[in-house]
Amino acid sequence: MDTLIIVLGPTGVGKSDISIQLAKHYHTEIVSADSRQFFRELTIGTAVPSPEDLNEIKHHFIQNKSIHHYYNVSEYETEALQLIQELHKKINPIILTGGSMLYLDTICNGIDDIPTVDPEIRDEVIRWYEENGIEALRQRLQEVDPEYYEEVDRNNPKRMLHAVEVCQMTGKTFTSFRTRTVKERPFRIIKIGINQDRKVLYDRINERVLRMMDLGLLEEARSVYPYRSLNSLNTVGYKELFPYFDGSCTLAEAVDLIQRNTRKYARKQLTWFRRDQQIKWFEPNQIDEIIKYIDQTMNENE
């Protein structure tokens, strides 16, 4: 049976290393579901696998888009499912890994059939947002779709913009298109969760941020600073450094904020993942146990 092994967990826990070990063991390839790693201009702050790892194991959806490319989860669902179908013609199982909750969920369950937004309307709404700011965007969303306003992450302009775009194009609320119907997939899904003691995870996150700075994150962030208003740059590791370039905070304050926001994001990921009873949890050093579980699961359902 065609099988998709999903390796998920909080940021900084070691998902990439586990995925590479599994890919080597099963002689397969890796599909990324990390929405921050899609962009070719972002390498250090998004923890893209090393050139050596990318050469050793074939990865997909790594730095395949530009930060200037408007890309959403619906496009990802279409492209990733097509890729998985093609890969399954020659290899099995396939590894899918990442920490972007919505992107993982759309591969497992699908997303609602939201209308495709006309590019002219999208450009118009984005220009309006750039001129008026996030508070005006929040107010506009509350007016056109109060139900979605109550549940959306109101610090995420990308989500709010998409809802406003759909409302403007169709004359209907974004909520009206969200039926939450689970879609059948033509492959078996095995979900592997990676987690560890919270203090250890937080220490790893703090150290990783410092290592990113040593590797040149400051220079990488400076190179995309002129495009700071893009949705693709509303991401931890970059948005905290932009105020430093503006002169409104010190570098030490910016680095501390990256660490805090990364830890906060890890908590958010774990809260989301813990609702899924299909996930089998392991620690990063349990690769043998993970392989044993995968083999047993695949053999039980053949």
Confidence of residue 60 (pLDDT cuts 50, 70, 90): very high
Structure token digits, residue 189: 């899904």
Give the pLDDT mean for 55-78: 92
Q: Alpha-carbon distance 70 to 210, whole Å? A: 30
Nearest Cα neighbor of 285 from 200, 159, 221, 210 is 200
The stretch 209-229 carries a mean pLDDT of 97
Amino acid at the residue 287: I
For residue 42, which of 227, 198, 208 has the smallest C-alpha distance?
Answer: 227
- Is residue 206 predicted with pLDDT exceeding 90? yes
Contact assessment for residue 18 and residue 284, using Cβ atoms and an 8 Å cutoff: yes
Q: List where CATH 1.10.20.140 sits in the chain.
A: 119-177
- Tell me the mean pLDDT in the region 162-170: 90
What are the start and end residues of each CATH 3.40.50.300 domain in the chain? 3-112+181-300
The CATH architecture to which 3-112+181-300 belongs is 3-Layer(aba) Sandwich (3.40)
Q: What is the pLDDT of residues 190-201, one digit of tens each?
A: 999 999 999 999
Task: Tell me the mean pLDDT in the region 200-221.
Answer: 98
Whether residue 302 is predicted with pLDDT greater than 70 in this model: the reply is: no
Helix ranges (H only) for 88-118 are: 101-109
At the topology level of CATH, where does 119-177 sit? Histone, subunit A (1.10.20)
- Residue that is written with structure tokens 């005006």 in the block: 136
Pair 104, 76: CB distance under 8 Å:
no
Report pLDDT digits (tens) over 240-280: 999 999 999 999 999 999 999 999 999 999 999 999 999 99
Quote the pLDDT of residue 171. 87
Residues with Cβ within 8 Å of 248's Cβ and at least 6 positions away in sequence, in order, are none
CB 146 within 8 A of CB 173: no
Span 213-235, average pLDDT: 94
Q: How far apart are CA 101 and CA 95, in angstroms?
A: 16
Please tell me which residue, 10 or 72, carries the higher pLDDT value: 10
Amino acid identity of residue 7, one-letter, is: V
Nearest to 2 by CA among 92, 77, 85, 104: 92
Instruction: Find how far residue 247's CA is from the centre of its chain.
Output: 30
Phi and psi (nearest 5°) for 233? -100, 5
Handedness of CA 71, 77, 78, 81 (dihedral sign): positive
- Alpha-carbon span 286 to 146, nearest angstrom: 45
